[in-house]
Chain A
């Protein structure tokens, strides 16, 4: 035991401090969060812009960015950094195109969840059906995402501190649940902000490790510019690490860039952030900082794998190139500084926990706010909050059980779930915000068509039709669902909400056009 503590005390100390801060934040907001549903679900729309920017950033970026995506450039080289361009574009689209309108419309409508936005905005005979369908998509898709993150963090605890997998999963899931249940959206946003700060610092620290190890920029650069190592297929890399299109097809980078980046404009865990912004100044601050945090983090971490070539022998490189997920762990091990490893581990946990906390709350609000309150008589605010807490705990127990024996291909299932969100949510969200003529029928059927196209493409086309493998399901299903939204909305204008309702959301019409969003 003494030997174990002597070896790992730095990492244990940093982890305990980090977990302690998260729990303290949850406890601090415990009383404030239960004053009302608006407080518990959206932090009463009173959160400063910098907190929301950090929360958006830390929720979107996950452990996979720091491990999987960062390590991938060991095999793909520096062209992999193009992912940063795509994701930054989506981040800007999310904040500039969706953010301000979403904040204003949801406040006017009194919406506190994404499914209830569809209900109040479309106000049609189908709007309750959209709300329930949207909530069901959240409940069934989120579990794979949560299991994927919990599994990654638990494996990290096992390899780093020797904690058994089951205990690691228990710690990560239930500590996150505890502070989320205590403080609702307040604790989710404030812990996300702290986690975001850690993650930003860790991204820069991790990027510096190969240079600190080698001791000079030129030393790293000469090893990367003309590498003596080989690819996974055993061919010499040469200048491949710095040559566009040499080691990875640009279309593949675009596929990953688009299919993951698009989550920022479609997934509830990102969109719900807009609800809590305090005022105009806060919105401007968040619009400024969210893309900066994301862009700087991505250009720091995405190229790390390529730079690690400067730290390894040809024999080590031949192993790592086939297992790029292990590149970052290998890099930290080889550098061998316990403080650097400990801080980086805290960053990786921060990335995992921030994503877990946000989706836990979204699931709780979907179960109670969007299904229970629609099927049965609406609950009082206090009962609403109580049952939301109970739902979160039960759901997390379920996540824990699945995490103990996760099904094969969990990473693919996580990506699959993200694609389903994108295809089914985006047209209804974008159309709801921008098209006065968007109808509940358009939203409902586009959601259904997006969902089915996504499943169809994945199950029958992508891996069965030659040449389709690199076209991720999100791309065709999003195009189809968007077209469906436009056509069905145009054809069902008689079901459109009343003019008064639309004027309330969009402002008065002038010459047939809306004058105020």
Chain B
């Protein structure tokens, strides 16, 4: 298998490693603010 073809596999796994890093390291804040206007 040539390198570019193999990248389809290990490139995906590399992205998943990056995603795991970002999922733990990124600042994520979900607020529970209620809407001020009742639609």
Chain B residues with CB under 8 A of A283: 28, 30
Q: Which of A82, A242, A284, A287 is B7 in contact with, Cβ under 8 Å?
A: A82
Q: Which of A82, A100, A245 is B29 in contact with, Cβ under 8 Å?
A: A100
Q: Mark B1-39, 1 if CB is under 8 A from A, else 0.
A: 110110111011101101110111010111111111111
Q: Are B5 and A79 in contact (CB under 8 A)?
A: yes
Q: Are A103 and B30 in contact (CB under 8 A)?
A: yes
Q: Which of A88, A96, A107, A298 is B35 in contact with, Cβ under 8 Å?
A: A107
- Asked if A88 meets B16 with Cβ closer than 8 Å, knowing A79-B8, A242-B2, A288-B23, the reply is yes
Q: Are A242 and B35 in contact (CB under 8 A)?
A: no
* Nearest CB in chain B: distance from A53 CB, A: 11
Measured CA separation A242–B20 after assembly (Å): 29
Chain B residues with CB under 8 A of A108: 31, 33-36
Which stretch of A145-153, A274-282, A313-321, A338-346 is in the interface? A274-282
Chain B residues with CB under 8 A of A107: 31-35
Measured CA separation A36–B16 after assembly (Å): 38
Q: Are A277 and B30 in contact (CB under 8 A)?
A: yes
Measured CA separation A248–B26 after assembly (Å): 38
Chain B residues with CB under 8 A of A78: 1, 5, 8
Which partner residue on chain B sits nearest A78 by CB separation? B5
Q: Are B15 and A88 in contact (CB under 8 A)?
A: yes
Chain A residues with CB under 8 A of B23: 284, 287-288
Chain A residues with CB under 8 A of B39: 110, 116, 120
Q: Are B19 and A85 in contact (CB under 8 A)?
A: no
Which partner residue on chain B sits nearest A85 by CB separation? B11
Q: Which of A109, A242, A287 is B5 in contact with, Cβ under 8 Å?
A: A242
- Asked if A299 meets B13 with Cβ closer than 8 Å, knowing A96-B26, A110-B38, A280-B29, the reply is yes
Q: Are A292 and B16 in contact (CB under 8 A)?
A: yes
Which partner residue on chain B sits nearest A108 by CB separation? B33
Measured CA separation A83–B22 after assembly (Å): 22
Q: Are A504 and B16 in contact (CB under 8 A)?
A: no
- Asked if A279 meets B13 with Cβ closer than 8 Å, knowing A84-B8, A242-B2, the reply is no
A484 at the B interface (CB under 8 A): no
- Asked if A299 meets B12 with Cβ closer than 8 Å, knowing A110-B35, A110-B37, A244-B2, the reply is yes
Chain B residues with CB under 8 A of A100: 28-30
Measured CA separation A110–B36 after assembly (Å): 8
Chain B residues with CB under 8 A of A84: 8-9, 12
Q: Which of A79, A103, A104, A295 is B4 in contact with, Cβ under 8 Å?
A: A79
Measured CA separation A147–B13 after assembly (Å): 34
Query: Residue among A83, A92, A282 with the most chain B CB within 10 A?
Result: A92
Q: Are A287 and B28 in contact (CB under 8 A)?
A: yes
Measured CA separation A245–B8 after assembly (Å): 13
- Asked if A89 meets B15 with Cβ closer than 8 Å, knowing A78-B1, A282-B30, the reply is yes
Q: Are B20 and A288 in contact (CB under 8 A)?
A: yes
* Nearest CB in chain A: distance from B20 CB, A: 6
* Nearest CB in chain B: distance from A210 CB, A: 16
User: Which residues of A from 86 to 119 have beta carbons under 8 Å from B?
Assistant: 88-89, 92, 96, 100, 103-104, 107-110, 116
Q: Are B30 and A279 in contact (CB under 8 A)?
A: yes
Which partner residue on chain B sits nearest A107 by CB separation? B33
Q: Which of A83, A225, A280, A296 is B30 in contact with, Cβ under 8 Å?
A: A280
A382 at the B interface (CB under 8 A): no
- Asked if A104 meets B30 with Cβ closer than 8 Å, knowing A78-B8, A225-B1, A288-B23, the reply is yes
Measured CA separation A82–B34 after assembly (Å): 43
Q: Are A88 and B30 in contact (CB under 8 A)?
A: no
A243 at the B interface (CB under 8 A): yes
Chain A residues with CB under 8 A of B30: 100, 103-104, 277-280, 282-283
Q: Are A85 and B35 in contact (CB under 8 A)?
A: no
Chain A residues with CB under 8 A of B28: 100, 280, 283-284, 287
Which partner residue on chain B sits nearest A103 by CB separation? B30
Chain A residues with CB under 8 A of B36: 108, 504
- Nearest first, the 8 closest Cβ-Cβ pairs linking A and B are A110-B35, A81-B8, A244-B4, A288-B23, A242-B1, A82-B8, A84-B12, A280-B30
- B contacts, CB < 8 Å to A: 1-2, 4-5, 7-9, 11-13, 15-16, 18-20, 22-24, 26, 28-39
- Contacts beyond the supplied A88-B12, A116-B39, A299-B12: 17 A-B pairs with Cβ under 8 Å: A79-B4, A85-B15, A88-B16, A89-B15, A92-B19, A107-B32, A108-B34, A108-B36, A110-B34, A242-B1, A242-B2, A245-B4, A279-B30, A280-B29, A287-B28, A288-B20, A298-B12
Sampled A-B contacts (9; CB under 8 Å): A78-B1, A81-B5, A92-B18, A96-B19, A100-B28, A104-B31, A244-B4, A288-B20, A299-B8
